């Protein structure tokens, strides 16, 4: 079953001679639980694509369906709630709230939605992410790798259908990068999360189930990396 379906989305910035076609009739689908990487040069359109998938920007044409829901047919408030409950974001810059502890940062998306965390699931995530002993620490008391693990926990806590990761290893050393990729693969397998990750690192890209490339707004599917 396809969790994500992208149908002929296009996006152009500017107009006339200065117009930039960031995406050109991009179509693809991703089954539930698949871990997909997106590669491409800077300015190729891959970040624009991720913004479309996360409903942070709207295409000029085309559709994005998540679990059968046409996200750009929704009204603004409906889309905001849907995104909060169904899409998890992991950013290169971590984007943790400095005044909140590890545990508070992780459960923050639930509090925004006026929901109480499932304590059993929270404890499980803290264990999987190796953060149990750091749960009461502030972000400035953590290493870069630990901060990124908190960001992953924050993305997982709502049990979203789709996780979008934008260069999540960009600020990490080799060891921490490997640990973060292993955690994302674990999330894909254990929690059946569908994960779309942008990376410039070709070797990291090959660890995914499937690789997509965006070049000059055109998407190429290189197929599965492993069976």
Q: 115-164: per-residue pLDDT in tens?
A: 999 999 999 999 989 999 999 999 999 999 999 999 999 999 999 999 99
Place of tokens 């913004």: 51
What confidence score (pLDDT) does residue 226 get?
Answer: 56
**Which range has the top average pLDDT, 25-34, 170-179, 188-197?**
25-34
What confidence score (pLDDT) does residue 223 get?
Answer: 76
Q: 39-90: per-residue pLDDT in tens?
A: 998 888 999 999 999 999 999 999 999 999 999 999 999 999 999 999 999 9
Contacts made by residues 11-19, CB under 8 angstroms, sequence distance 24+: 11/45, 11/48, 11/52, 11/57, 11/59, 11/60, 11/217, 12/60
What confidence score (pLDDT) does residue 202 get?
Answer: 85
Q: Is residue 218 predicted with pLDDT exceeding 90? A: yes
What confidence score (pLDDT) does residue 225 get?
Answer: 65
β-pair partners for 6: 28, 64
Domain ranges of the chain: 2-224
What confidence score (pLDDT) does residue 23 get?
Answer: 96
Q: Is residue 95 predicted with pLDDT exceeding 80? A: yes
What confidence score (pLDDT) does residue 227 get?
Answer: 52
If you count them, how many residues does the chain have? Answer: 227
Measured CA to CA, the distance from residue 106 to residue 152 in angstroms comes to: 8
Which residue did the predictor score with more confidence, 224 or 193?
193
> What's the token pair of residue 163?
């996780």
- Looking at domain 2-224, its CATH architecture is 3-Layer(aba) Sandwich (3.40)
Q: Is residue 165 predicted with pLDDT exceeding 70? A: yes
Mean pLDDT estimate for the chain: 92
Look up the pTM and report it.
0.90
**Which range has the top average pLDDT, 11-25, 131-145, 210-224?**
131-145
Measured CA to CA, the distance from residue 226 to residue 119 in angstroms comes to: 35
The stretch 3-28 carries a mean pLDDT of 93
- Single out the residue of 128, 114, 104 nearest to residue 180, CA to CA: 128
The stretch 211-219 carries a mean pLDDT of 94
Q: Is residue 35 predicted with pLDDT exceeding 70? A: yes
- pLDDT above 70 coverage of the chain, percent: 99
Strand order from edge to edge, sheet including 20-31 = 20-31, 2-13, 61-66, 69-70
- Single out the residue of 121, 53, 50, 108 nearest to residue 86, CA to CA: 53
């Amino acid at each position: 079953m396809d969790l994500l379906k992208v149908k002929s989305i296009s996006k152009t910035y500017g107009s006339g001679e200065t117009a930039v076609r960031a995406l050109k009739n991009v179509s693809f689908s991703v089954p539930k639980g698949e871990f997909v990487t997106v590669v491409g040069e800077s300015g190729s359109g891959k970040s624009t694509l991720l913004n479309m998938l996360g409903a942070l920007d709207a295409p000029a044409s085309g559709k994005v369906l998540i679990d059968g829901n046409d996200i750009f047919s929704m009204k603004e408030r409906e889309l905001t709630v849907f995104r909060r409950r169904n899409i998890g974001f992991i950013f290169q810059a971590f984007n943790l709230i400095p005044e909140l502890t590890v545990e508070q940062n992780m459960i923050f998306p639930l509090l925004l939605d006026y929901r109480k965390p499932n304590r059993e699931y929270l404890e499980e995530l803290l264990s999987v992410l190796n953060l149990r002993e750091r749960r009461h620490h502030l972000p400035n008391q953590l290493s870069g790798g630990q901060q990124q693990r908190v960001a992953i926990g924050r993305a997982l806590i709502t049990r979203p259908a789709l996780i979008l990761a934008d260069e999540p290893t960009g600020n990490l050393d080799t060891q921490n990068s490997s640990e973060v990729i292993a955690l994302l693969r674990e999330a894909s397998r254990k929690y059946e999360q569908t994960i779309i990750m942008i990376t410039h690192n070709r070797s990291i890209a090959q660890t995914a189930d499937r690789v997509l490339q965006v070049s000059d707004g055109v998407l190429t599917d290189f197929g599965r990396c492993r069976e």
